[in-house]
Every structure is written in C-alpha cells, then in structure tokens.
Amino acid sequence: MSPVIARLEPSRNDADPTLADALADLHTRSRQIAYRGLYGDAFLDHELAAVSRASWRARFENHDSARDLILAAIENGAPVGLAYASFRLNPAVGLLLDNLHVAPGRKGDGLGSALLAGVARWLIEDHASAPLHLEVYAPNASALGFYERKGGVAVARYRETVPGGRETDVVRYRWERPASLL
C-alpha cells in the first residue's frame, strides 16, 4: 500500500496528541540519523525526543490553518513522512518549510518529492503562488543535493550554533515559482 499524503488541520479535526507525538517520533528518528556528528550525541540520544514532542504538541495547539501547513505521509496508520511550513517562523522571508523528513527506511521512494509538491500546491492554491523557502545545514550533503535537483536556488548562508555547541553553516533555498515543484 502506498502512503497517503494528508493535510492535517489540528485546529479542526486532528488535535489528537498521539498524532503529534507520532510525527515528533518520526522527526526525532530522522534527525538522529541525519544530524549525527553535527548535533551533540547527548542531545540526540537523550534530549531530542522530548524537545521534538514539545515542539510538535505546540504546533498542533497553536496551529493557524491560514499560515501553517502540516502534511503527513501515512501508511498503515503511521506517519512515514512529514512536512511543516509556516509564514510565522521567519516573516521577513515569507513561507519557511521548517521540516521535511522521511522515515529512514523510506528515503528514495518519492515521499520527499510528494511532500514538497504538497507544500507547493498549498502555496499555489491558498497563497497566490508565494515563494517557498527552506533552510538546511550545509554538512547535510544528501539534503543539499535533493533541494538542488528540485531547482532550489541558494539565496542566503549564515552560521548557527546547533545543539551540542558546534557552529555550522545553514543554507537558505528559494523557489520563486512553487509550480516548478509539481
């Protein structure tokens, strides 16, 4: 069975905290793999799960369907991919896709592309084709390659201190025309 990409509307019908926790757990597993060696091991292994759950529960509690988007790829009742985007995270740049994660065993199945296309579709249908932005850690070569293959243009680069105290570069990508992602 192929996953179904669903738009979650926590303010209306998806307020179940178990779904927020399931997304947080997927987000945690993905980051534990992608950010190993970048984030501190103690944070990844002992703190990240609680941080993720608190963050996702807050996203569900404070969801504004006009300015926030949560997409989940659901298979057999469990999330295998997620996307979270908001106009509220960095109003100076507009929409920021803050999270795009696919379950580690499902990478390469097209879920990341489908979720990215879902965000683009929301921008086209509900936000007059506003540009899409996302930020990625520069050491995450596989993510950089994915976004560049998808036509993202690097428009900014800055330094950030990540959990564990390391400094790293962050690259902001932009898609001026989200329709190019469909």
CATH number of the structural domain spanning residue 59: 3.40.630.30
Q: Average pLDDT over the chain, rounded to whole?
A: 94
pTM to 2 decimals?
0.94
161 vs 104, which has greater pLDDT?
Answer: 161
Structure tokens at 29: 């597993």
| 14: confidence class by pLDDT, cuts 50, 70, 90 | low
Contact 148, 99 (CB under 8 A): no
Return d(Cα 16, Cα 27) in angstroms, integer.
Answer: 17
State which residues form the domain around 40. 4-181
pLDDT, tens digit, 9 for 90 and up, residues 30-69: 999 999 999 999 999 999 999 999 999 999 999 999 999 9
Q: Is the pLDDT of residue 12 over 90?
A: no
Inter-axis angle of helices 48-61 and 17-34, nearest 10:
140
CA 180 to chain centre: 19
Q: What is the number of structural domains in the chain? A: 1
Residue linked to tokens 């069975």:
1
Q: How far is CA 50 from CA 28, 39, 67, 99, 156, in A?
A: 9, 15, 25, 17, 30
In the chain, alpha helices (H): 17-34, 41-42, 48-61, 111-126, 141-149
Backbone angles phi, psi at 88, to 5 degrees: -90, -15
Task: Tell me what pLDDT residue 28 has.
Answer: 98
